[in-house]
Each structure stands twice: as structure tokens, then as C-alpha cells.
Amino acid sequence: MSEPLFRAEPYARETEAEIVEASPGRLVLDVALFYPRGGGQPGDRGEVVGAGGGVAITDTVYDVDRKTILLVPAEGAALPSPGSRVTARLDWPTRYARMRAHTALHLLSVALPFPVTGGSVGEAEGRLDFDSGETAFERAEIEAELTRLVATDAAVTTRWITDAELEANPGLVKTMKVKPPMGSGRVRLVEIAGLDLQPCGGTHVAKLSEIGRIEVTGIEKKGKQNRRVRIKLSEDI
């Protein structure tokens, strides 16, 4: 199976596609433009426009087989017929805000080098939970470090590596904060040049300057060992 469009071209906003399946609550296309909910990142929204008009897409999820991507149409909408050609279009401002926030969370994990126990990506905001023990977090210090990292304007790139290549390069695993899942044959790595390398399946911006200013909006205690750190991005870049 070829790589989904949301991974191969995260800046693609629309595409021509064919309807593979259409039934109440489920729309399947032959091109994967919409990101399905996963890894803390919400499913894409947008619209699918066919000869008979447009259908609003309110969410995107994986089917129970964990492979088929389901676009969730607005309730009661008239759906295009299987086999028909459509234009699929993302709610781009929302997707782009999530790409910026998702990439900013990678930087947060660089600024705070502790094991990450959870996280969530929102629109131009997000949070990570850290297993940081008794370490005290200083909001101003974290913000200053995030500002410094964004100012490097490092490139964000992705590459695939096979399990065998990974095993042959133990140094690679050492540079990664999250141990990649083995067994599926290959792993997708996201690299922020000189700063970060980790397995990730989400959507990211291409350069750190696209993130803009990051504000730390909250540091909460989550149990004895955990701290939750919330960030928010400025609207203008």
C-alpha cells in the first residue's frame, strides 16, 4: 500500500478522489488526505464535494481493522455514490494549527527531557505529561528555551527505517527519546535537524519558524511523579 497523502504531503489541502464506500456515518475514499485520529492528534475535518453537492466531514477515524480510514459525514447528509469522483478538501486552518502545535510538542519534549506519559494536540495548543519526579518546572525558563529552539528554524523531515536497519544502528535508538515499536517491519522517524529524533506518525510543519511564539499556559501536578505542561501558540506567525 502506498503512503497516505497526509504523510507524504502534509501540506496538501485538497485532492481529487473516488468514493470507495458510502453508508450512514461512513465515507471511504481511495486517497488518504484526511488524518485519522491517533497519537494524541484529532481527526481532520473538511468537506467532500461531488456532482450532487458538498458533504461536511466532522471527524476522521480508523475503522476497527485499524487500516481503513473513515471520514465521518455530518449527520443526515446526502452522500455521494460509490464509484463517483469527488473533491476532498481539508479544513486547512484547523489542520495547520494542529501541525504547528504537534511540532511544538516535539520541542517541548526537547526542552523537558523526561519520559512522556501522555499528550494531546489541539488547535494551536497542546499538552504533554512528563514523568519528572520531584523536578520543579519554571514557566519562564521553559518558554525561553522553546523560543530559542524555534529561532533555530531547523528543518523537520521524516524517513522510514526498517527494523533490521534499526537493529544494525543501536546508536540511533540511543538518540531517540521514545523507543520505536518493532515488529511491523518498518518505523517512521521524525527528525528535527540537530534537536530531536523520534518515531511519530502525525503531521508536522516543515520548518520551526512556522510554529511562531510558544507560550506556556499551565504547569499542573498530576499525581506524585507527573507534571502536565500546557502550551499555546500565538495566532500570528
CB of 228 to Zn ion, least distance (A): 18
Q: How many CB atoms lie within 10 A of CB 85?
A: 11
CB of 17 to Zn ion, least distance (A): 25
How far is residue 237's CA from residue 224's CA, in Å, rounded to a whole number? Answer: 37
Cα-based distances in Å from 194 to 99, 176, 212: 20, 12, 19
Q: Does residue 42 belong to the site contacting Zn ion (CB under 5 A)?
A: no
Task: Return the number of the residue (10 or 202) whose C-beta is nearest Zn ion.
Answer: 202
Q: Does residue 40 belong to the site contacting Zn ion (CB under 5 A)?
A: no
How far is residue 73's CA from residue 63's CA, in Å, rounded to a whole number? Answer: 14
Cα-based distances in Å from 146 to 37, 93, 112, 216, 237: 26, 23, 10, 9, 15
CB of 191 to Zn ion, least distance (A): 11
Task: Return the number of the residue (69 or 121) whose C-beta is nearest Zn ion.
Answer: 121
Q: Kindly tell me which residue out of 22, 121, 202, 231 binds Zn ion, with binding defined by CB under 5 A.
A: 202
Task: Return the number of the residue (60 or 109) whose C-beta is nearest Zn ion.
Answer: 109
Q: Kindly tell me which residue out of 28, 55, 200, 205 binds Zn ion, with binding defined by CB under 5 A.
A: 200
Binding site for Zn ion (CB under 5 A): 200, 202
